[in-house]
Amino acid sequence: MESGNGKKRFWKRPLTWVVTVLLGALAAVLGGALQDLFKTAGSKVVNEFGKERAPFTVAFQDDSCPAVWTHFPDELQKAVIGKPENEGRTILVKNREADGGVTDLTVTLQGRTQSAVVITGARAVMSGPSQSPPASVFGTGGCGAAVPTRSFAIDLDSKSPTATALNPDEFSGPSPAIVNFPYKISATDPEVFHFSVRTAGCDCTWYLEIEWNSNGKVGAYQLDNGGKPFRTLALKSDTWQPVGLYVGKDGRVTGLSRTSY
């Protein structure tokens, strides 16, 4: 049957009908794939933050020292040679395999809105079984600093590695009373926490889990090391070999040494 203008109706044109059906099927497949993609992305966010998306932003800085390796870091020789001494040390620290004895994290939490968020606690969650430290460990020179306020220690060797408040160093200024969790934060009232995560006997990989509640919702934010767990490795005087920098008269690195600075 033809229309009044002499042209075949849509369903009477076989080629047009077939192309339309195929395009429709393709759109359905692509639509489903895109929907699955967005579901996957969404599920990653949900899994990252627990059952509820964390109502705060997180920024952290790794102030750990010394940086250590289980093998002498020969591969870093080329990266540091020719660099100024301070830059060479920075390269070594950034390319560490683990933290020696202590991982020091400075973590800043700030609410997304004016609604109060209560930070109820923090703990280390092991990403795998605790291992014995290797027979030899190479590391940069030691360092130390005053304990800042809002400082907490986490003992990886304990059965329950939860954060407990530390007394700030009296030389860093007036020492406030030790205050343990909980803390309140909001968009205009952030908090800076210092976590000193320690071990005297293990080669441990772990995540920092920060527990919170807000407006009747609860959750735990899992902080990782750029998508990987943090690694803290016990140091012993008879197994630790300091790694230093050979520096020329011009102040530039000429190589790595196995002696202390």
pLDDT digit string, tens, across residues 35-84: 333 222 222 223 344 445 789 999 999 888 889 999 999 889 899 999 99
Of 70, 3, 66, 54, nearest in space to 260 by CA: 66
CB 207 within 8 A of CB 220: no
Round to whole Å and give the CA distance between 21 and 56.
Answer: 48
C-beta separation of 246 from 235 below 8 A: no
C-alpha span between 204 and 227 (Å, rounded)? 16
Q: What values do phi and psi take at 257, rounded to 5?
A: -120, 165
Q: What is the pLDDT of residues 5-42, one digit of tens each?
A: 555 554 445 544 444 444 444 444 334 433 333 222 22
Percent helix, percent strand, percent coil in the chain, to nearest 5: 25, 40, 40
Mean pLDDT of 104-129: 94
Residue 59 and residue 237 in contact, taking contact as beta carbons nearer than 8 Å: no
Largest CA distance in the chain: 99
